Amino acid sequence: MLSYQQALDYIYSFVDQEKLHPEKYEHPRFDLSNMHTLLSMMGDPHRQLKAVHVAGTKGKGSTCAMIDSVLRAAGYSVGLFTQPHLHTFRERIQINGQLIEEEHVVDLVERLQPCIERLPEPSTFEIMTAMAFQHFADQAVDLAVIETGLGGRLDTTNVIQPMVAVITSISYDHTYILGDTLEEIAGEKAGIIKEGRPVVCAPQKPEAEQVIVETSQRRRSSLILLGREWTWERTASDLTGQSMTVQCHIPGHNGLMPGGVAEEFRVPFLGSYQVTNAVTALATLDQLYRQGIPLTLEDVDQGLRSSRWPGRLEILNQSPLLVMDGAHNVDSVQRLMAALREDLSFRRLIVVAGFSADKDIAGMMRELASHADELILTQSIHPRAAQPAELAKQAPKSGAKIRTADDVPSALWQALDLATDQDLVCVTGSLFVVAEARAAWLDYRRIAFPRDPLP
């Protein structure tokens, strides 16, 4: 029998696209043939699942978390598959908010091994996706919430026939794979839209929206556009979250919310974009309701209030303010900087940042340097991480004072040493940087304040 670590080593022994540099995608095998073959050998566990399928550049993880939380509040058994993880592989596959047990990881790997070894060039993503589908089928979940890993059309998860497809905000990311224009990227994301199945779409830039509209028409899928069929207004915010009023404007609507009636909800997240993600989740839940999944507005209220998604505009300390957010493209950095100024009060902004080498580093550095007072550049232990010196070369000559640190914990302690009680320390960039900083902070808190509750 394998140990848990041996099982992980086996999973990661195959092609792992999370760890590859862009130049290594020269001859990719991006198709779904392996997934279909693998799942067929396993008895097609994905066909047993009632699923929600979520794609997008930003907000898909938060949206998945909110959908999952509401469905659990309504009493359903819910599988959640997301990627990447912050601290442990087990975060990727959850049922009812509980991480997959180590023994289940081992069991799934041992069961899948004979099938995997019959595949040509299997990938880590294919194995993880198959494990999630099999685990959810084994545990007979009522519903599964599935997040794409990369793109949509050729993502390993795109073998399911979901009850609802969801497309969150689209912006530039992974352009070396998905395309250099928003139209191309939107075309890949829209690949999750299935024939005759409804699709919920967050507000998009016109060129991306047009692609989604045309794809929905071709596939005869009803399209729910946020900002048109659903509108909202943020009504209040504080350090614990924000409130919003929401209305549905679909003519003759017989869904979860009566048409034209405003309802108020609250989420424990900051940033106006999280309100958009919450409404995206609500419109998705409405579509499930219309397909026979009983839900109440009380379920929605309770589920949204209790939802959780670590590492995304997460406040870990209040004096000084310590915020962590995995903003890893220009659009998400812009949103983060706007949210900090809009939702939080502070004197100076001290930013710790590190990025993967394949990102638009110059664009993100311009945004950070124009807002921060101090900018500490660092790198995670991930093989795709750009070196701090390389980041510094792409920083503007004017703006924030630039410092470097060899590793993430050192950068975090340097930032906290510079901060007064009136300042804000923000750790951002790749989720790998956020994960290392978060782990260092939580380890410190456990030692220094053993009786205090942790996030």
User: In the 3-class helix/strand/coil scheme, how is the chain assigned residue by residue?
Assistant: CCCHHHHHHHHCCCECHHHCCHHHHCCCCCCCHHHHHHHHHCCCHHHHCCEEEEECCECHHHHHHHHHHHHHHCCCCEEEECCCCCCCHHHHEEECCEECCHHHHHHHHHHHHHHHCCCCCCEHHHHHHHHHHHHHHHCCCCEEEEECCCCCCCCCCCCCCCCEEEECECCCCCHHHHCCCHHHHHHHHHHHCCCCCCEEECCCCHHHHHHHHHHHHHCCCCEEEECCCEEEEEEEEECCEEEEEEEECCCCCECCCEECCCEEEEECCCCHHHHHHHHHHHHHHHHHHHCCCCCCHHHHHHHHHHCCCCCCCEEEEECCEEEEECCCCHHHHHHHHHHHHHHCCCCCEEEEEECECCCCHHHHHHHHHHHCCEEEECCCCCCCECCHHHHHHCCCCCCCEEEECCCHHHHHHHHHHHCCCCCEEEEEECHHHHHHHHHHHHHHHHHHCCCCCCC
Total domain count, the chain:
2
Mean pLDDT of the residues in the chain? 92
Claim to verify: residue 333 and residue 271 sit in the same structural domain: no
**For the segment 17-64, what is each residue's pLDDT rounded down to a tens digit?**
555 444 443 434 568 999 999 999 999 999 999 999 999 999 999 999
Claim to verify: residue 298 and residue 347 sit in the same structural domain: no
Is 229 in contact with 200 (CB distance < 8 Å)?
A: no
Of the candidate ranges 153-157, 175-179, 348-352, the one whose mean pLDDT is the lowest = 175-179
Q: Decide if pLDDT at 349 tops 70.
A: yes
**For the segment 252-283, what is each residue's pLDDT rounded down to a tens digit?**
788 998 888 899 999 999 999 999 999 999 99
Claim to verify: residue 142 and residue 196 sit in the same structural domain: yes
Q: Which pLDDT band, with edges at 50, 70 and 90, does 448 fall under?
A: low
Report yes or no on 205 lying in a domain: yes
Report yes or no on 452 lying in a domain: no
CATH code of the domain covering residue 44: 3.40.1190.10
Predicted local confidence at residue 383, as pLDDT:
87
Q: Which residue has the higher pLDDT, 178 or 338?
A: 338
Claim to verify: residue 302 and residue 318 sit in the same structural domain: no
Kindly report the length of the chain.
455
Q: Decide if pLDDT at 144 tops 80.
A: yes
Claim to verify: residue 268 and residue 319 sit in the same structural domain: no
Claim to verify: residue 302 and residue 341 sit in the same structural domain: no
Predicted local confidence at residue 259, as pLDDT:
80
281: closest CA among 152, 158, 166, 151?
A: 166
Of 273, 306, 339, which residue sits at a domain end? 306
Predicted local confidence at residue 27, as pLDDT:
38
pTM score of the predicted model: 0.93
Claim to verify: residue 285 and residue 374 sit in the same structural domain: no
**For the segment 380-422, what is each residue's pLDDT rounded down to a tens digit?**
998 889 999 999 999 898 889 999 999 999 999 999 999 999 9
Of the candidate ranges 67-71, 94-98, 355-359, 451-455, the one whose mean pLDDT is the lowest = 451-455
Of 276, 306, 336, which residue sits at a domain end? 306
Predicted local confidence at residue 138, as pLDDT:
98
Report yes or no on 345 lying in a domain: yes
Structural domain harbouring 384: 314-447
Of 306, 326, 341, which residue sits at a domain end? 306
- CB atoms near residue 370 (< 10 Å): 12
**Mean per-residue pLDDT for 232-238?**
95
Predicted local confidence at residue 16, as pLDDT:
60
